[in-house]
Structure formats: structure tokens, C-alpha cells
Copies of this chain bind each other. A is one copy, B any other.
Amino acid sequence: MQARATGPTIDDVFHALGDPTRRAIVERLSQRPESMSDLAAPFDMSLAAVGQHVQVLERSGLVRTEKIGRTRTCEINPLGMALARQWLEARRRLWETRFDRLADFLGENEDGAD
């Protein structure tokens, strides 16, 4: 039955980044990959809880994991970050072109043009 054939959505990404613990995990993994236990150690919560956060991050394309033997290693997945960045950039383009049009409008009605 192959659920979740499609990749992560923008909603997945921003929902994942909305939680401070998950952002902290992303920050740590931005520096180096880590095992589940090492990753969980500094947090004031159970290993299981951190595991759940990692699952959310994985589904959102922000983290990639691989299990070797009995340890699972987690590392950053650029895909999720790219999705987030693209969304922000797209919005920025929109309101910047709005400002440009405003500037054009002000510009052509200024001075002795025409």
C-alpha cells in the first residue's frame, strides 16, 4: 500500500520548524550528524520524545536518517531548508515587485515628465 508517495509539502516544513525543540535539533545537526542518543542527551526530555521530533523532521524533508546496526544516525537534509527558503523568496518577490510598481508610478508622475 505505499503511503506518502509524494514528497514533503510546505506545510510539513513550516509545521516542523514551528516547534523550538525541532529547530534546536536542526541547529545541532547543522554542525554535525549525530546518533539518536547523542542528539537527545542535552534535551530535558525522554529519548522517545526526541525520536518523535526526528520523525516529524524526517517527514518534512529537513532531516535524513540511516540506521546502521542498532544506532540511527541523523543528519541535515537540504531539501526541507530549500523548500522553506523558496517559499520565503517567492513572497519576497511579490511584495518587492509591488514596491517597484509603486516606485515606477511615483517616478513617472514626478518632475516635469510628459
- Residue pair B14, A94 in contact (C-beta under 8 Å): no
Give the distance in Å from the alpha carbon of A60 to the alpha carbon of B26 in the complex: 21
Q: How many Å lie between the Cα of A85 and that of B84 in the bound state?
A: 9
Q: How far is the CB of A113 from the nearest CB of chain B, in Å?
A: 26
Contact of A91 among B11, B14, B26, B95 (CB under 8 A): B26
For A, the interface residue count at a CB cutoff of 8 angstroms equals: 27
A16 to chain B, nearest CB (A): 8
Q: How far is the CB of A90 from chain B (nearest CB, A)?
A: 8
Q: Does A37 contact B (CB under 8 A)?
A: no
- Between A18, A19, A32, the greatest number of chain B beta carbons within 10 A of the residue's beta carbon is seen for A18
Which residue of the partner chain, among B17, B20, B27, B81, contacts A17 with CB atoms under 8 Å? B17
A94: nearest residue on chain B (CB-CB)?
Answer: B30
Given known contacts A14-B17, A18-B15, A27 and B91 CB-to-CB distance under 8 angstroms: yes
State the CA gap A10–B20 with chains docked (Å). Answer: 9
Q: Is the CB of A30 within 8 A of B81?
A: no
